[in-house]
Amino acid sequence: MEAENMTVVTEFILIGLTQSHDMERFVFVLSLILYIIILPGNILIILTIISDPKLTAPLYFFLGNLAFLDASYSFIVTPRMLVDTFSEKKTISYKACITQLFFLHFLGGGEFLLLVVMAFDRYIAICRPLHYSTVMSPRACYVMLLALWLGGFIHSIIQVVLILRLPFCGPNHLDNFFCDVPQVIKLACTDTFAVELLMIFNSGLLTLLCFLGLLISYAVILCHVHRSASEGKSKAISTCTTHVIIIFLMFGPAIFIYTRPFTALLADKVVAFFHTVLFPLLNPVIYTLRNQEVKTSMKKLFLRQIIC
């Protein structure tokens, strides 16, 4: 009888990033400016790499995919957050919430794996240059790309399946500005301790291991570069430094959010904002600003379009 009287949640009410209207407007203006300026920049990076026959190396192939993943990732949270700024009641349906959560982790997991692939690419190029053309052949690059998309899908679908098995009967106030695992799980009408452990193992432990593995691999690469006396030493150091910056930007917030018990902290929303709104737009731009070949090709493409 008690089970029959339980109300099934069909929508969630998002509390939002902040309760201060002034702060909310400031975040709106900042996010909109970044979105308008930097998102076209990511698209320009993709078009530049596709259109320039000189940028065919695996490094640029993966950079184009990084820009695509980040541009796609920015569509998941930011547009809805901007619209919700002017909504008195920020609601999201249960199905839309699960869909948002799926794509958030699908693309995020794929990007983490892409950074691992990019680290492998740099290791082979710098430490095993004689084997580079064989190991990083076009076919191998496409296989790696397929593997990271598949890995992101598996990572995400596991989380979605675990959440779909949970009953939601109220309350339905989600303490965030988008749907994510830590906040959604806390609204379930059952003991979620086992599910939390599985989520931490799936997202947190995997993220932490990838992060540590990437740092170790780039430390090995930089040590190898430092000992060598090759002409491209400064370029290799610049590329690896850029990769390390992106790794900290992407993995730092993810480790903070997913490698601990899902208890609310004051910094959660701020970290989530940087992780889902700001950093995905900045990552390819940071890389491009430190890559002379891409910048040169981008200027040529821009001038070509103006002349035409």
pLDDT tens, position by position, 122-179: 999 988 989 999 999 999 999 999 999 999 999 999 999 999 999 998 789 999 999 9
Mean pLDDT of 193-204: 90
123 vs 241, more confident: 123
Checking if the pLDDT of 216 tops 50, the result is yes
Checking if the pLDDT of 113 tops 90, the result is yes
Checking if the pLDDT of 93 tops 80, the result is yes
How far apart (Å, rounded) are the C-alpha atoms in residues 184 and 197?
15
Q: Which of the four pLDDT bands, split at 50, 70 and 90, describes residue 272?
A: very high
Judge whether 176 and 89 are in contact, CB under 8 Å.
Answer: no
Mean pLDDT of 249-270: 89
Question: Two tokens at 282?
Answer: 């900045």
> Model's pTM, two decimal places?
0.90
How far apart (Å, rounded) are the C-alpha atoms in residues 178 and 92?
9
Checking if the pLDDT of 32 tops 60, the result is yes
CATH architecture of 11-307: Up-down Bundle (1.20)
233 vs 65, more confident: 65
- pLDDT score, position 232: 65
29 to each of 78, 155, 276, 300, how far by Cα in Å? 12, 33, 16, 32
Question: Two tokens at 204?
Answer: 């947190």
Which residue type does 53 have?
A: P
Name the strand (E) or helix (H) holding 101.
helix 94-127
Lowest mean pLDDT, pick from 48-52, 99-103, 117-121, 185-189: 48-52
- As beta bridge partners, residue 92 has 12
Which residue type does 75 have?
A: F
- pLDDT score, position 231: 64
How far apart (Å, rounded) are the C-alpha atoms in residues 258 and 159?
12
How far apart (Å, rounded) are the C-alpha atoms in residues 91 and 11?
7
What value does the CA radius of gyration of the chain take, rounded to a whole number of Å?
21
Judge whether 185 and 199 are in contact, CB under 8 Å.
Answer: yes
